[in-house]
Structure 1
Amino acid sequence: MIRTIRSIQAIGIATYKEWAAYRSHMAISLLIGPVYFLVQYFIWHAVYQDRETLNGFTLEQMLAYFGIAAVTNYLTFDFADWNLQMLIRTGKFVTFALRPMPHWLFALSQKIGHRSLGFWIEFVPIFLIFQFAFQVDIIPAQPMWAVATIVLSFLMNFFINYCVGMTAFWLVRAEGIRRVFLLLKDISAGLFVPLSFFPEQLQKVLFFLPFQFTSYVPTRVFIGDYELAGIKLSIPAIVGVQACAVALMAAVTLLLYHAAIRRFSGVGV
């Protein structure tokens, strides 16, 4: 266990240093959050022109929702799916198959290092811009639970994307499926519109899918209340449900990974 922790730490630090050398690439993403929010700002100002509330959201709460979603995305951003599919397609995955550490753990260690750098280069500047320049209240109502939900969202995002990446073990070209799936994932996570705006029957389906735990749940935890499909839960309760969902998704990832490795060894990809 100690050796594994040290390996994770070493890989994370190496990734941090590697990306720090090309931090200008990461700094470009500083434009994405503000531009995304400004689009939402103008859209929702037009929608709220003749009303004070919409589905229980005031204009200020709606802007806070999208501000929080944009900011927290800098902490949980993941591209494990693209990276894994690239390794499989080019044949470079074989070098990882021979290593004692499973690739999924190596990829998770890389993400820890990558997002640690992103915290300083992306999250902190955007947080300050939203809080003071845009004057959007993105201070979490319960900071400790906010930290817990971000950590769980970080893991859930990784496990979902890694599972998507593993489709490349069975498909020659998985890029199309990857793009469609990730679009549906973003819609089901509440990135484009709060999930409470969907029809009630669809909300009931979304409640049992893992995608809400990547964005919708962390955003609602930051706001300080949670409701979906008519189900209202306290912040500790929904974070507990999120933890169980992450554990289940981790188990699915491990099962799929072992099946993928057996196929990889069997066909000699």
Structure 2
Amino acid sequence: MRRLAAVIRAIGFATYKEWAAFRSHMAASLLVGPVLFLVQVYIWHAMFEGRDTLNGLTYSQMLAYYGVATLIHYISFDFADWNLQMLVRSGKFVTFALRPLPHWLFALAQKIGHRSLALWIEVLPVMALFIFVFGVNMKPAAPGWAIVSILLSFLMNFLVNYCVGLTAFWLVRAEGVRRVFLLLKDVSAGVFIPLSFFPDALQKLLFFLPFQFITYLPTRVYIGDYELAGIHLSLGQAVALQTAAVGVAAAATTALYGAAMRRFTGVGV
């Protein structure tokens, strides 16, 4: 385990240094994120006109929701699906198949390094902007639970995206599937609108899908109140549910990865 941790740390640090040379690419988020947030400010200001709450959320809580959701997006951002499909399509994946370290672990280490750089280039500057320019309350209701939930969101987004990337072993061109899936994922995760605004029947479906654990649940945990499909959970219960979901996603990813490696070997033979 110590050797494995050292390998992951080395890969993460190498990725950190590699992307640090192109940090201006990340800095573009300093414009994109706040602009999108400003659009939400105008929309919800109009929606709350003459109202104190909408679906149990006040105007300040709604702004906090989108502020926190934006930060979680920066922290958990992932392109493992695109990278894996590119490696498979170009034939370069064979170099990883021959290594003792499974590629999914290599990709996770890369993400850790990439997002570590994003913490001070994207997350902290945008968070300061939300607090001091837009006046959004970004203080977590329970810092401990919020940190654990965001870390689990980080893992869940990676696992879901990596599974999408694995479809490249069965599909000749998986880009179309990837684009459609990512759009559905963002809608089902609560990126565009809180899931509690959807019809009750759809909320019940979304409760059992893995996507809410990427954005909606960690955002509600950060705010301090979780509710979906009429189900109210304490912060501890919500994080426990998220932990179980990440465990299921991890098991599904390793099983799918094993099937992909057997197919890859079979085609090679």
What is the TM-score with the length of structure 1 in the denominator?
A: 0.98
What's the counterpart of residue 79 of structure 2? 79
Q: CA deviation at 1:268?
A: 2.3
Q: How far, CA to CA, are the matches of 1:141 and 1:24 in structure 2? A: 33
Q: How far, CA to CA, are the matches of 1:129 and 1:207 in structure 2? A: 32
Higher alpha-carbon deviation: 42-51 or 224-233: 42-51
Q: Are 2:218 and 1:218 equivalent residues in the alignment?
A: yes
What's the counterpart of residue 49 of structure 1? 49
SS in 2 for 1:227: strand
What's the counterpart of residue 200 of structure 1? 200
SS in 1 for 2:182: helix
Higher alpha-carbon deviation: 63-72 or 150-159: 63-72
What's the counterpart of residue 155 of structure 2? 155
What's the counterpart of residue 130 of structure 2? 130
SS in 1 for 2:250: helix
Q: CA deviation at 1:54?
A: 1.2
Q: CA deviation at 1:61?
A: 1.2
Letter in 2 for 1:89: R
Q: Are 2:266 and 1:254 equivalent residues in the alignment?
A: no
What's the counterpart of residue 232 of structure 1? 232
Q: Which consecutive aligned stretches of 4+ in structure 1 deviate over 6 angstroms post-superposition?
A: none
SS in 2 for 1:65: helix
Alignment RMSD (CA, Å): 0.9
Q: CA deviation at 1:27?
A: 0.8
Which structure 2 residues correspond to residues 82-121 of structure 1 after superposition, within 5 A? Answer: 82-121=82-121
Q: CA deviation at 1:46?
A: 1.4
Letter in 2 for 1:111: K
Q: How far, CA to CA, are the matches of 1:28 and 1:214 in structure 2? A: 23
Letter in 1 for 2:29: S
Residue by residue over 1:65-105, the C-alpha shift from the partner in whole angstroms, topping out at 9 and shown as x without a partner, is 11110112111111100110011111110110010100000
What's the counterpart of residue 22 of structure 1? 22
What is the TM-score with the length of structure 2 in the denominator?
A: 0.98
Q: How far, CA to CA, are the matches of 1:99 and 1:26 in structure 2? A: 30
Q: How far, CA to CA, are the matches of 1:137 and 1:33 in structure 2? A: 17
What's the counterpart of residue 185 of structure 1? 185
SS in 1 for 2:34: helix
Q: How far, CA to CA, are the matches of 1:138 and 1:212 in structure 2? A: 20
Letter in 1 for 2:237: A
What's the counterpart of residue 245 of structure 1? 245
Q: CA deviation at 1:138?
A: 1.3
Q: How many residues align?
A: 269
Letter in 2 for 1:151: L
What's the counterpart of residue 5 of structure 1? 5
Q: CA deviation at 1:28?
A: 1.0
Q: CA deviation at 1:243?
A: 0.4
Structure 2 unaligned residues grouped into runs of 5+: none
- Identity percentage of aligned residues: 68
Q: CA deviation at 1:238?
A: 0.4
What's the counterpart of residue 68 of structure 2? 68
Q: How far, CA to CA, are the matches of 2:242 and 2:131 in structure 1? A: 27
SS in 2 for 1:173: coil
Q: How far, CA to CA, are the matches of 1:73 and 1:54 in structure 2? A: 24
Letter in 1 for 2:126: I
Q: How far, CA to CA, are the matches of 2:190 and 2:25 in structure 1? A: 27
Q: CA deviation at 1:51?
A: 2.1
Residue by residue over 1:109-161, the C-alpha shift from the partner in whole angstroms, topping out at 9 and shown as x without a partner, is 00000000000110010010001111101111100111100110000000000
Q: How far, CA to CA, are the matches of 2:196 and 2:150 in structure 1? A: 20
